[in-house]
Amino acid sequence: MAKTTPSADAGVAGLKFEAALAELETLVASMEAGQLPLEESLAAYRRGVELLQHCQRQLADAEEKVRVLDNGALRPLDDDREDI
């Protein structure tokens, strides 16, 4: 996946995860509909890549915070345990 440039990061940096994901879903839907001209499709694709990378960074940051809070003791959830 291509790295974003600082100017591209500036376009999504202020977005919360949910807002970025919603915009990405909207872009995907409009591209799947096949009604966008070529140039708009390319611009939507570029924006989608930026949004995807932004969301991936936010998820990685959140995962790291959970690791720190859990003192590195993350383990798979036991599906057989009783609900508390």
| Tokens standing for residue 12 | 């999504």
Helix or strand or coil: residue 62? helix
Q: How far apart are CA 47 and CA 53, in angstroms?
A: 10
| Tokens standing for residue 59 | 């998820």
Residue that wins the pLDDT comparison between 2 and 17: 17
Class of domain 17-69: mainly alpha
Helical pair 38-69 and 17-33, crossing angle rounded to 10 deg: 150
> Average pLDDT for residues 17-45, to the nearest whole number?
96
Residue that wins the pLDDT comparison between 28 and 3: 28
pTM of the model: 0.70
